[in-house]
Each structure stands twice: as C-alpha cells, then as structure tokens.
Homo-oligomer: A and B are copies of this chain.
Amino acid sequence: MNRLAVELPGLKLKNPIMPASGCFGFGKEYANFYDLSVLGAIMVKATTIESRFGNPTPRVAETAAGMLNAIGLQNPGLEKVYSEELPWLEQYDVPIIANIAGSKVEDYVVVAEKISTAPNVHALELNISCPNVKEGGIAFGTVPETAAHVTKEVKKVSSVPVYVKLSPNVTDIVSIAKAVEAAGADGLTMINTLLGMRIDLKSRQPILSNGMGGLSGPAVKPVSIRMIYQVSQEVNIPIIGMGGVTKAEDVIEYFLAGASAVAVGTANFVDPTICPDIIEELPGLLDKMKVGHITELIGGSWKTEWVAQS
C-alpha cells in the first residue's frame, strides 16, 4: 500500500506534495537537484496567451518569515509553453497542473482550451488571484460572481478538471469558494499570496518597483490554515493547500485543516530539495501519529471520528 497516494479529480498522485505555481518555473532548474518523478505533481508557472516580461525589478523583498513578490506573471506565452516547456516535462512520470492567467475571461478560455490538451497536463489551476497584474488577476478572485463566471467559461472548454486558486484578500472566502464550486470547479487551491508592501528607508519608496506585492512563506500559514478550515467544511470539492509549508508537520497541519494535497512555494527558494525531503519524512511522521494512510487525516480537526488519546 502506498500510504501517501491521493486521488483527486484528474490526478492520481503518488504523494500529495507538489511545488506551487511560480515557485518552480517549468521544473528545469530543480531537475538539477533531483528526479522530478518523485513529486506528486508539478504546478507550473502561470501561462498567458502572449509572452510577458512582467514587472520591473526589484520584484522580491524579504519580510519576517516571509517574502513579497511582484513578478507579474512573467512567462514565455502559451505557444512556447505548449510546444517546449510541457513536452520537456514529459520525460518525468509526474502529472502537470497548468496554472493559467489572463486579463479578461476570453484570455483564460483561450489558454485553457489549448493547454488542457497537452498530454501531461492532468488539471488546470485557474489563477484568479494574482495580486501582481494591473488588469484581471485578483479582480476576478475577490467577487463571487466574476469568479464563478470565469470558472464556468473555462469549464466549458477544458479537457481536464479545473481547480480554482482563491485569493486570501477577501472578507468572506467561503462565499467565493461556494460560488466557484457551484460554477463547476472540480477543486480549489488556496491560498494565493496576501497583498503586502515594504518600504525602503533609504529611497523612501516601496522596495518593490511595483509598489505592492504578494506575501508568501511561513508568515502566512496561519491565515491559510484558517481559510482551509473554514472552506473545507462548506464545500464538497477537494482543496490543495499552500502557504508557508516548510516541513512534513506543516503538511499534516494542512490535512487536518481540510486539505487533500499540499503545494510548496517559497520554501523551494530556501531549500531546493524541500519537496523530496518532505516526501521522505512523511511516512515516519504518519507512524508517529499512528496513522495508516495520509488521507485519514483530511479534515481531522473538524471531523469528529477521532478522539485524542492522552
């Protein structure tokens, strides 16, 4: 029995660990450190119709136990991703989750229709929550109706299941989650980054040339855990959790909150082998917790079956 195997719409994962979108490029760099086939899946960098340079630099700034980024969806564009990046990844036995972005609904539809036909793309991740682009991005993700609308349109054309990536920068995350579920989303991924800023004392200007940026890393984990705890009790589609994961214990915390798989973002920059390291540590941790299969932990903090032995 593989105690770490998880099955989600479109995804048979040998383990529930995957790099988060934008924190792993299209995998090439990390392939220098380990065999990408050990991963549960890979969430590749956001793809837009046209290639994008993104925002001016500086694009990253450090914060206490976190970082801000304002990359601005830099990517080589749909054609190149489809004809070069994704085929390169076919050498690995690992399902790809394609993160797609745009500035209007039609952009999402165009990218979704094409990219979902790539043989190794097993699911889409609708990025309606990127805080780093002027148009679209986060705007779609903060209003239930628009979030539902883009979900519905993408569902119509996608050949693979569609996961919607939620923004934490909202008053009521549950209502957004329910709206995209009703619109046909097969799963949720949460959370994208929190909107933040740092100001440089010397220049007296924001450190990021874009002004604001997205906060990620360990600092945001409690916010993400809280949101997954809230949402997982109100929807019937699975959640891929992310935000500040740096160790196997964090993965378990996400499962207990209600996630069915976990993505690792910022921590890849700190430690390039973090994903395989976590995968290796998980079985020992399950032993310690006397858990047979990791899926038994999903929603464990609010499901009542289990009673702590003291």
Contact = CB atoms under 8 A, between A and B. Distances in A.
Interface of A: 63-66, 68, 142, 169-171, 194-199, 201-206, 211-212, 215, 217-223, 225-226, 229, 244, 249, 252-253, 256-257, 289, 297, 300-301, 306, 308
Number of chain copies forming the complex:
2
B226 A64 contact: no
Contact of A63 (B212, B221, B297): B221
Contact of A171 (B64, B171, B257): B171
Contact of A219 (B65, B289, B297): B65
A223 B194 contact: yes
Nearest to A300: B204
A301 B199 contact: yes
Given A171-B171, A301-B204, A199 B253 contact: yes
30 contacts: A63-B218, A63-B219, A64-B65, A64-B219, A64-B244, A65-B218, A66-B219, A66-B222, A142-B171, A194-B222, A196-B222, A196-B225, A197-B225, A197-B226, A198-B225, A199-B225, A199-B229, A199-B253, A199-B257, A199-B301, A201-B249, A201-B252, A203-B308, A204-B256, A204-B300, A204-B301, A204-B306, A205-B308, A215-B222, A218-B219
Contacts of A198: 222, 225, 253
A68 B220 CA distance: 12
Contact of A256 (B170, B199, B225, B249): B199
A36 B222 CA distance: 34
